[in-house]
Amino acid sequence: MEKFRDTSLSCEERAADLVSRMTLEEKIAWCGTWTCPIPRLGIPGWHYSNEASHGINALNYVNDKSYNVTSFPVCLAMGQSWDTEKIGKVTKAVSDEIRAAHNIGDESLSFWCPTINLSKDPRNGRSDENFGEDPFLGGKMAAAYIRGFQGADEDPKYVKAAATPKHYMLNSSENNRNTGISFADEKTIREYYARVFEYAFREGKAESTMISYNRINGVPAGASEWVMGRLLREEWGFEGYVTSDCGAVQQTYNAGHLALGQKEGVGHYYYNTLEEASAGTLIAGCDISCGGEHRAHLMDAVKQGLITEDQIDKNVIRNVRSLFRQGIFDPKGSTPWDSLGAEQMASKEHDDLAVDMANDTIVLLKNEKGMLPLKKEGLRKVLVVGPNAKFRELGGYSCGSFGVGGGLDTRYNVEALDGIRNELADTDAQVIYEKGWNAQKEYGGGLLDLMSIPGVDPQQVQQMMMSAMGIEKHEDTREKYDLPEYVPYAGPEDPERKGDQGKMFARALEAAKDADLVIMVAGTDAGTASEGADRKSIALPNGQGERIAKMLETNPNTVVVLTVMGTIGDPVLDKCHTLVCATYAGQSQGTAIANVLFGKVNPNGKLTATWYKDDSQLPNINDYGIRKADVLTQDHGRTYWYLDEEPRFPFGYGIHYTTFDYANLRLKEKEVPNGTSLTACVDVTNTGKVAGKEIVELYIRKVVDERFGEKPGYNKPFRQLKGFTKIFLEPGETKTVTIEVPLRDVTFWDDFRQKMRIIPGDYVVEVGRSSADLPCSEGFAIVGEWDAPLSVVYAELDKYCYLPGEEGQIRTVARLEDTTRLCPKKYPPVYTSSNPSVAEVDACGHVTAKAPGTALITVAVTYEGKTVTRGVPVAVKET
């Protein structure tokens, strides 16, 4: 039996043995998203890509339409629940359906999700896919998502499905995402943009990550050893594989080359040839290309001496290691998920969870007249207005969006109009619907991948899609199209698209005159912004603000529900007395909206991003500075960390049908030794008449010394979220809430010392309802310097696959949690071989192959009593 089939060996050894048996041509084929089968080894081909951001997007092999799936709320909506436990339950359900599809039809288990780029600017076209603007909250949500998705708490050995947090990193604008450049200093990167990914890898243990298209301070992310090596592997301990975004490898090259089918000016111009691009990205640490570059050019790169087969071995070992972790090559019954079947797909349990999660995503923004919860009694005529009330919007990468996978879709959908009608079905109320206006598609400039383009030969489009999937076609089509500002939305959700908008809204106003209640459902849709296209403004699109104002004048008993992809900054919100935010909440969004409107659910969601007043509070979207001094295009800082003006609704905001009071904040210690934890307790009381859930938010701010020119919110944030928890309270009930904050979460980058520091000195703990409503505060001091513990030992060989007698060398890097690299002379690694008869290793990490087989070289470093290890596989081939 080949060693790679021996389940008693480590996944690393098995991966190395398999790669040692491959030819160079086969290895190159396994550096792409779609791999080739190797019949002589009994190895099937594999597909390293699919999408399941909030439910399976599509299936490649299960073409039976009866296999529907569950579509949960988008990540931005789930984040508004502030419930990491429930997010883990959702992603467990999603990966149960993924495993079931794998068992039914051999579907891939490698998925490109979640998107965790921070919403530093709400105009980002993919804002609905992320967890908001805060790296701590987003990081905790991402870690919970990944652990649930990968089955971390279900089996210690196997991974249920591989999560791929993306797009790593500084990729928060779509208009320039392919070839743009993101400038930020190291302090901003480490404290803000990178930190959300650090939680995903340190706590979530993600199997893989997708590198972004953009340049970071001049270097394409896919060519940056600092991004993929120093941060990801050496500092955070990442052990998985890195994939490029589709076409990102070729875009590091001078893309004006005619062979790419691209126009002059598209590309980073970082490498001089495709062979350089193929070799350079692999060497930098990007293990897989979503595209055909490697198949077409990597062999020539080897022949030109740009890359060695030993380097390719390292990349492919990382790729196939994930498959061993998923149990792909193991006997049926090896993993605890091998028995999952069709009963998992869109199951009743998952449908119920979709409703439960949707309930917790809705944020009540205003209830000034006390209209909510609505009372059914006495309602005679209820008018529902707006296309968003009737036409489905599930968000980015949802099922049913690509028209593939045998028509994969949800079993059922409940839109806002459905939910309201269902809720009033047992009354005499008449529910009338008026569309009022058409949904619109607004596209800015940018690169768009289009499935079909009028006037463009279908074969060209097919070539583009084939290249994106890595199939062996290399004539890529990627053009820039200037689309009109408004393109009518004519998809299957709204097939007729008939009617003059002016007349439609006039009809709605007339119907509103004698209505007891108007529920106006406005917002964004799939065309407002998306992958490849940012919003031009955070105002409501297509004149919806003016329509809301007219409706409020016509019938003051108007409730406004915003089904949106993120922050709305529109003057009409000041005129709304009753306002609900229902971010794309999945297949049961209508049920959740009705549950909140009519009081079955006490709203408990809170915003995960600042709702600015209007565009004037935002710098240019392509500006990646967040501190006021670093923002080049506007005199404002970004996010609640640095915004020095009052927003319309602050980060962490959300009200309820009850009220909660905070009192008696106390700290376990007023002087906290550096490197330990801060413990805070506060009493929270439900002072209203309705039971409800409250999200208790804890912020920490550094007290600055203004005698030396420091100012609050200048070089350090005004405050930072560092703890939160969700509690349920009956009316009149009081609970003591305890939140522990490890001080390692309160770190800042020190440019002079070139490391992260927990800065000694005075701080303030603030606890309350939102970042702008913090009734309890208490000062404390961090005492002493941080003696950071050993965090990561990274080890790699210059050669993994040997013939007997060949030699190799291990390179070892040991780093403390503050990023300091330990001196190997002072703290020498200790090397041991699991099988010295196969491979010996000396005290200096020099490896000598002895006989065919596999061995795992363990590298151990000890610092101040703590030992951290890392395994490096060796495979010795038959001569």
Query: What's the rounded Cα separation, in Å, for the pair 777 and 701?
Result: 10
Q: What angle do CA 77, 80, 86 make, to 5 degrees?
A: 85
Q: Which of these, 265, 240, 452, 410, lies nearest to 326 by C-alpha position?
A: 240
* Token pair of 301 as six digits: 């790169």
CATH number at 3-343:
3.20.20.300
Q: What is the pLDDT of residues 792-849, one digit of tens each?
A: 999 999 999 999 999 999 999 999 999 999 999 999 999 999 999 999 999 999 999 9
Q: 40: buried, middle or exposed (CB in 10 Å: 19+, 13-18, 0-12)? A: exposed
Q: Which of these, 563, 540, 534, 519, lies nearest to 392 by C-alpha position?
A: 563
Backbone angles phi, psi at 181, to 5 degrees: -125, 135
Q: Which distant-in-sequence residues (6+ apart) come within 8 Å of 66 by Cβ?
A: none
* Token pair of 254 as six digits: 């001078």
Q: What angle do CA 773, 362, 420 make, to 5 degrees?
A: 140
Query: What's the rounded Cα separation, in Å, for the pair 316 and 15?
Result: 8
Query: What's the rounded Cα separation, in Å, for the pair 310 and 302?
Result: 10
Q: Which helix (H) or strand (E) holds 100?
A: helix 84-105
Map residue 303 onto helix, strand or coil.
helix
Which one is the CATH code of 660-783: 3.90.780.10, 2.60.40.10, 3.40.50.150, 3.30.230.70?
2.60.40.10
Quick one: pLDDT at residue 65? 56
Quick one: pLDDT at residue 467? 37
- Burial state string for 563-581 with b = 16 or more CB within 10 A and e = fewer than 16: bbbbbbbbebbeebbbbbb
Quick one: pLDDT at residue 236? 98
* Token pair of 843 as six digits: 């005290």
Domain borders along the chain are 3-343, 348-449+475-610, 660-783, 791-876
Which one is the CATH code of 791-876: 2.60.40.650, 2.60.40.1080, 3.40.50.2300, 2.40.170.20?
2.60.40.1080
Q: Which residues of the chain have pLDDT under 50?
A: 256-263, 402-406, 441-493, 495-496
Q: Which distant-in-sequence residues (6+ apart) come within 8 Å of 320 by Cβ?
A: 15, 18, 19, 30
Q: Which of these, 499, 527, 591, lies nearest to 393 by C-alpha position?
A: 527
Which one is the CATH code of 348-449+475-610: 3.40.50.300, 2.40.50.100, 3.30.460.10, 3.40.50.1700?
3.40.50.1700
Quick one: pLDDT at residue 32? 94
Query: What's the rounded Cα separation, in Å, for the pair 290 and 281?
Result: 12
Q: Which residue has the tokens 């005159």?
A: 513
Q: Which residue has the tokens 């998925």?
A: 111
Considering all CA atoms of the chain, what is the largest pairwise distance in Å, rounded to the nearest integer? 91
Quick one: pLDDT at residue 282? 98
Q: Where are the alpha helices (DSSP H) in 501-580?
A: 501-512, 544-554
Query: What's the rounded Cα separation, in Å, for the pair 285 and 221?
Result: 10
- Evaluate whether 31 touches 312 at the Cβ level (below 8 Å): yes
Q: Is there a common fold for 660-783 and 791-876?
A: yes
Give the HSE-up count for residue 797: Cα atoms under 13 Å, Cβ half-sphere.
35
3-state helix, strand, coil in the chain (%, to 5): 25, 25, 50
Quick one: pLDDT at residue 64? 59
Q: Which distant-in-sequence residues (6+ apart) come within 8 Å of 846 by Cβ?
A: 807, 808, 809, 810
For residue 784, the tally of other CB atoms under 10 A from its CB is 13
Backbone angles phi, psi at 348, to 5 degrees: -60, -40
- Burial state string for 94-109 with b = 16 or more CB within 10 A and e = fewer than 16: bbbbbbbbbbbeebbb
Q: At what angle do helices 348-361 and 84-105 cross, to 10 degrees?
A: 150
Q: β-strand 807-816 against 846-849: which pairing, if any?
A: antiparallel
Q: Where are the beta strands (DSSP E) in 627-676?
A: 660-667, 671-673
Length of the chain: 879
